[in-house]
Amino acid sequence: MQNLNIKIGGQAGQGLVSIGTILLRAATQEGWYLFAHQDYESRIRGGHNFFQIRLADRPVASWENDIDVLVALDEATITRELEEVKPGGVVIYDPDVLGPDAQKLAEQSNSIGLPFARMAEELGQPKIMGNAVAAGAVWALLSEDLTELHETLALMFSDKGPAIVQGNQQVASAGFARVRELLGERPRPGKPANPGPRLVLRGNDALPLGALAAGVKFMSAYPMTPSTGVTEFISEHGRRAKVIMEQAEDEIAAINMAIGASYTGVRAMTATSGGGFALMTEALSLAGSAEIPIVVVNAMRPGPSTGLPTRTEQGDLRYAVAMSFGDFPRAVLAPGDVEEAFYLMAHAFNLAEEYQMPVVVLSDQHLADSYTTVPPFDLSRVEIKRGKVVSGEEAGPDYLRYRFTADGISPRLYPGFGQGLVVAAGDEHDEHGHLIEDAETRQKMMEKRMAKQKLVEENALEPVLCGAEDAELMLIGFGSTKGAIAEAVEMLNSRGIRAQGVHLPQVFPLPQGLEVLLQKPARKFIVEGNYTGQLEELIASRFAWKPDGSIRRYDGRPMNAKYIVDRLPGGVCHG
C-alpha cells in the first residue's frame, strides 16, 4: 500500500480546517482513498490544533504517526510536530508568523517558507485567502495539475460569487507554482486504477444521513460537542425530507420533545454527549415504562464532568448500558466507521419501534469528526420496520395499549386513529394504561416488558471479523477502535502472527456469537478507550470470562495500529 500523510498545524481561527477541507475534497475527486482526523482545543481562538489527512491507493481506516508533509501556520506546530516528519519529508511554513525557528527551517533542504497571507495580498486578494495559497502549495506535491483543486474551490465558494472563486483559484495557483519552482518533480502517492464514485464524510454526517434514510421526521437537541454536527446536519438538510428540527432549551426538554413526537407515531431522535445524556436518564426510564420508541446518539468525550470537551474517549459504555433507573428493555449500538454509522442508524430505529424501547447509538469525538472515503450508500439495504402497528380500521373501542402478549410486544396504535384510546403512563399501569398498585399486575407487566429484552438478545448483531480465521491472537473492541484494530491485525499478519480482529457493532445485549469466539484457543486482548476496561467488564459479566490482556487509552487521543501493536506483550509481537 502507498500512503502519504499530511498534517496542518496552527491555532484555532487560523484556517487550518479550511485548508484541510479543501485538500480532502480535492483529493477525493482526484481519486485517492483517505482518512482524516482533527485534534482541536475547546477554545474559539488560540491553542494548538491540527488537521491530519492520510491518502492511500486503497481504503484506509485509521491514522498514522509519521508525516510526509507538514504545514505549519504557527511556531507551536514546528516545536511540537517537526520530529514526526519522515526523513525526506517536506515542511511548508509561514515565515511571517514564526519566530526564531523560521531561520532554522530555512536552512533545511525540504523546507519551504511561504508567507501565505502576504502572497494573497500581493495578488490583490484579501489575506484570508492565504488558506488557498497553502492548499495550492500542498497540492503541488500531490498532482500534476490544478484541475481538481480549482473545481473544489469553485464548488466550495460558489455561493460567494465568481470574484471570490476566481480569487481563491488565483492564489492557489501561486502557491502551487512556488512549490513546483522550489522542489521540482517529486514522487507522488499512488492512486487506485479505477477508483469509482465515492463520498467523503464524517461520522457526524453519516449518522444523520442514516437517520434521514430511515425516515426520521422529528429531532430535538441541545448543542453539545462532539454531537452538535448531527444536529447541524439535520437542521441544514432535513427540511428537504420534511423533518422538524427543534433546538431545545436543554437536554431534558430535548428528549421529552422527541419522546412526545414518537408517541404520536413519527420516528424521532435526539443527540448529545455524556453530560447531556446524564440529564436524559429520567426520560429514558419514562420511554422504557411507557414503551415509546426513541433513538439517542451519545457522542462520547472524556469525563468526568466536562473533562476534555473536544477530545475522544469511550468512557460512557457502562453508563449507556445502564441507561437509567429500573429494569426495562434497551439496546446499545456502537458503529465503528462512517459506513457502519449510516446503516446502523436504520437498525437503531427498527429496534426501537419493533420492541418499543429506547436505543442508544454510541459515537465518540474520533468517529464524529473524522473523515473517510466510502462508496455511495446502497439504499436498498435500508429496510424500515415499524413493528406491531395497528391501523385505525383495526383498532376498536376495546383496544389495549399494553395488552399482554406471548412475546411481550403489544400492538401499537398511533393516537387519534380509529376508535381506540391510547393511554401512556410513567407509573406502573395495567393493559389499558391506567395506573395500578397491586403486586400481581406489576409482576405481569414487568415480565411482559422484559420478555422483549430476551428477543433483543436473541437477535443481537453478530461480531464483525477481519484477519486470520485460525488466529493465535485476537483483538476485541467496539466503536471507533474498529479501524485501528483492523490495521493492527494486518500489521501483525504481515509479521507472520496469525491475528484476528473482532468488532462489536452491538454492545448491549452482547451477541451469542461472541461467546463462541471467546472459546477459541487464541490469546485475546480487549482494546478500548477508557481507564477501567468497561467493555472487558461487560463481557466478563455476561460470559464469566477474562482476557489475556488489555490495551486502553484514556488521554483523550484516538487509537491507531501502532499504539495497539506497541502495547502487546513482547513475546506476542515478534518480528
Closest by CA to 97, choosing from 83, 82, 118, is 118
Q: What are phi and psi of 242, to 5 degrees?
A: 60, 45
Examine the pLDDT at 104 and tell me if it is beyond 80: no
Residues 200-381: name the CATH superfamily: Thiamin diphosphate (ThDP)-binding fold, Pyr/PP domains (3.40.50.970)
Exposed/middle/buried for residue 523 (C-beta within 10 Å: 0-12, 13-18, 19+)? middle
Q: What is the pLDDT of residue 105?
A: 73
Examine the pLDDT at 393 and tell me if it is beyond 80: no
The predicted-structure confidence for 242-294, as pLDDT tens digits, reads as follows 999 999 999 999 999 999 999 999 999 999 999 999 999 999 999 999 999 99
Examine the pLDDT at 229 and tell me if it is beyond 80: yes
Confirm whether 3-183 and 200-381 share one CATH topology: no
Q: Please, which pLDDT band fits residue 110 given cuts at 50, 70 and 90?
A: confident
Cell of 49: 490544533
The predicted-structure confidence for 150-168, as pLDDT tens digits, reads as follows 999 999 999 999 999 999 9
Mean pLDDT of 12-23: 93
Mean pLDDT of 95-117: 80
Q: What is the pLDDT of residue 430?
A: 97
Q: Tell me the DSSP string of 15-52.
A: SHHHHHHHHHHHHHHHT-EEEEEEE--SSSSEEEEEEE
SS (H, E, C) 353-398: HHHCCEEEEEEEHHHHHCEEEECCCCHHHCCCCCCCECCCCCCCCC
CATH class of 3-183: alpha beta
The predicted-structure confidence for 167-226, as pLDDT tens digits, reads as follows 999 999 999 999 999 887 777 888 888 878 999 999 999 999 999 999 999 999 999 999
Question: Each residue of 176-204: b (16+ CB within 10 Å) or e?
Answer: bebbbebbeeeeebebeeeeeebbbbbbb
Residue 519 host element (H or E): none
| The one-letter amino acid at 352 | A
% of the chain at pLDDT higher than 90: 86
Exposed/middle/buried for residue 26 (C-beta within 10 Å: 0-12, 13-18, 19+)? buried
Examine the pLDDT at 574 and tell me if it is beyond 60: no
The predicted-structure confidence for 458-472, as pLDDT tens digits, reads as follows 999 999 999 999 999
* Domains of the chain, residue spans: 3-183, 200-381, 388-459, 464-566
Q: Are 298 and 227 in contact (CB under 8 A)?
A: yes
Q: How far apart are CA 296 and CA 284, in angstroms?
A: 9
The predicted-structure confidence for 335-378, as pLDDT tens digits, reads as follows 999 999 999 999 999 999 999 999 999 999 999 999 999 999 99
Examine the pLDDT at 85 and tell me if it is beyond 60: yes
Q: What is the pLDDT of residue 33?
A: 95
The predicted-structure confidence for 407-431, as pLDDT tens digits, reads as follows 999 999 999 888 888 999 899 999 9
Q: What is the pLDDT of residue 395?
A: 83
Mapping DSSP to helix (H, G, I), strand (E, B) and coil, where does residue 448 land? helix
Q: How far apart are CA 334 and CA 299, in angstroms?
A: 10
Instruction: Give CATH for domain 464-566.
Output: 3.40.50.920
Closest by CA to 198, choosing from 333, 347, 69, 60, is 60
Q: Is 272 left (phi over 0), alpha (psi -120 to 50) or beta?
A: beta
Whole-model pTM? Answer: 0.95
Q: What is the pLDDT of residue 575?
A: 44
In what order do the strands lie in the sheet containing 267-272? 244-247, 216-221, 267-272, 294-300, 358-364, 331-333, 506-508
Q: Name 103's Cβ contacts closer than 8 Å, sequence gap at least 6.
A: none
Examine the pLDDT at 99 and tell me if it is beyond 80: no
Mean pLDDT of 525-535: 98
The predicted-structure confidence for 434-460, as pLDDT tens digits, reads as follows 999 999 999 999 999 999 999 999 999
Per the model's pLDDT, the better-predicted residue between 398 and 153 turns out to be: 153
Mapping DSSP to helix (H, G, I), strand (E, B) and coil, where does residue 539 land? helix
